[in-house]
Amino acid sequence: MRLAKIVEALGLPSVSDDKEIVGINTLEKAASDQLSFFNNAKHLAQLQSTKAAAVFVQEKFAGELPRGTKALICEDPYLQLAYATAFFAHEITAQTGRPDIGSKTEIADNVQFGNNVTVGEGVRILPGCYIGDNVTIGDHTLLHPNVTVYHNCEVGSNVILHSGVVVGSDGYGFASKPDGTHVKIYQNGNAVIEDDVELGANTVVDRAVFNSTVVKQGSKLDNLIHIAHNCVVGENNFFAAQVGLSGSTETGRNVMMGGQGGTAGHLRIADHTVIAARGGVTKDVKKAGYYAGFPLMDGKLWLKLQAKLARLLKS
């Protein structure tokens, strides 16, 4: 979509550049044919170095943009971002297509496919599954009944998706208007499930706002787990039932989380970290270890605290 048309559609001050825009991305990752936005002063360095074609920005920060990047002046850049995401959203249709299917693959009669789907060799897709547009599924992967893989997502080889798994549903993203109503931020990224991953029944991996939500190779997730948009689950992670990762959380290699453990958003968890059941992660975990409690603390210290509280109640 042409930049001038985007600006016109949003009712913003006109710009001289009529560059072709292919999408939206973060300040750090935006290319010269993408839009971005700036709504937090702590990201000023990213604004000053962005390669984006244009940025939604308040007038007071417009002078910080690098040469060649256009300022799209507005009062609320995040709200304008929300409106703009609709221009690049995938068009959802009920049309079905014929997938490109590898040898020795078994597909139940009532499985539905979108357009441009590729399925590898030795795959088994059981009844009630839906595979959206532009999806790829690797070799020897098993989809149990009623699995849904949304458009543009990728599922690797030797993957097991149990019943009710949803890959690529929208992340939870909205911008609020001054009157208290909300505007949807279309989630235009995708979700990627790498090789040798197993997702338990009714587990959900949301698609990214931009780029990809990723579950890396060898990770095993239990039932009823939620991986929010733009998360990266590291290699060989083990998550027990009802774990929840908030948006843009990244876990390292061989991280283990007990049942109902959860994180706040935009956090990093170090390799080989163990978080006990119901552990609540509110800040980065920079050093491997065993942690427990809410807010999170050293696991042995948490056990001592519980023992002292128990003795206090008896006294």
Instruction: Give the list of residues 6+ apart from residue 152 with CB closer than 8 angstroms, or none.
Output: 90, 132, 133, 134, 135, 168, 190, 207
Q: Token digits for 39?
A: 């709504």
Instruction: Name the active-site residue from 151, 226, 229, 266.
Output: 229
Residue 137 vs residues 11, 88, 130, 154, 250: alpha-carbon distances, Å: 42, 24, 12, 6, 24
Contact 287, 270 (CB under 8 A): yes
- What does the pLDDT read at residue 15? 87
**Closest to 34 measured CA to CA, from 209, 174, 167, 190:** 209
How are beta strands 182-184 and 174-176 bridged, if at all?
antiparallel
Q: Which fold has domain 100-300?
A: UDP N-Acetylglucosamine Acyltransferase; domain 1 (2.160.10)
- What does the pLDDT read at residue 297? 96
What is the Cα–Cα distance from 242 to 278, expressed in whole angstroms? 9
Assign 17 a pLDDT band (cuts: 50, 70, 90).
confident
Domain ranges, ordered by start, for the chain: 3-88, 100-300
Residue 162 a catalytic site member? no
Burial of 292 (0-12, 13-18, 19+ CB in 10 A): buried
Helix (H, G, I), strand (E, B) or coil at 2: strand
Helix (H, G, I), strand (E, B) or coil at 227: strand
Reply yes or no on whether the pLDDT at 42 is more than 80: yes
For residue 127, whether the previous peptide bond is cis, meaning omega lies within 30 degrees of 0, is: no
**Rounded mean pLDDT, 262-290:** 98
Measured from the Cβ of residue 181, the count of other Cβ atoms closer than 10 Å reads 8
Q: Which of 83-92, 150-159, 222-231, 305-314 has the lowest mean pLDDT?
A: 305-314
Please give the distance of CA 212 from its chain centroid, rounded to a whole number.
Answer: 6
Q: 95-100, long-range: CB within 8 Å, 24+ apart, which pairs? A: 97/133, 99/131
Reply yes or no on whether the pLDDT at 315 is more than 80: no
Contact 285, 294 (CB under 8 A): no
pLDDT tens digits, one per residue of 242-257:
999 999 999 999 999 9
**Rounded mean pLDDT, 211-240:** 98
**Closest to 130 measured CA to CA, from 105, 148, 156:** 148
**Rounded mean pLDDT, 218-222:** 98
Q: Residue 40 corresponds to which amino acid?
A: N
DSSP-derived secondary structure letter, 20:
B
Reply yes or no on whether the pLDDT at 71 is more than 90: yes
Q: Residue 130 corresponds to which amino acid?
A: Y
Assign 25 a pLDDT band (cuts: 50, 70, 90).
very high
- What does the pLDDT read at residue 37? 97
- What does the pLDDT read at residue 85? 98
- What does the pLDDT read at residue 197? 98
Provide φ and ψ at 206, rounded to 5°. -75, 150
Assign 18 a pLDDT band (cuts: 50, 70, 90).
confident
Q: Residue 171 corresponds to which amino acid?
A: G
Provide φ and ψ at 3, rounded to 5°. -60, -45
What is the Cα–Cα distance from 60 to 154, expressed in whole angstroms? 41
CATH code assigned to 3-88:
3.40.1390.10
